[in-house]
Amino acid sequence: MSISSALSNALSGLSASSAQVQLASANVANALTPGYAPRGLELSARATGGAGGVIVRGSCATRIRGC
């Protein structure tokens, strides 16, 4: 693994963590808003051509099964 690949993996992980924190913040801020449904993130591993990391697939309402 090259240093470039390692940094790319680290960046994707930090970006995913940042997205999770932003979503948690929105969930807390809107907890008492009528009609607001808490949301969660769908994350998956990225493994293409020797590069790894994390992909944020999107967000979905946590009340929906499978999120």
Which of 41, 39, 37, 36 has its CA nearest to residue 58? 41
d(CA 65, CA 1): 37
Reduce the DSSP state of residue 47 to 3 states and report it: coil
List the alpha helices (DSSP H) in 3-63: 3-29
- Give the model's pLDDT for residue 50: 62
- Give the model's pLDDT for residue 27: 92
All structural domains of the chain with their residue ranges: 3-61
pTM to 2 decimal places: 0.76
* Model confidence pLDDT, tens digit, residues 3-55: 988 898 899 999 999 999 999 999 999 999 999 888 888 888 887 766 788 88
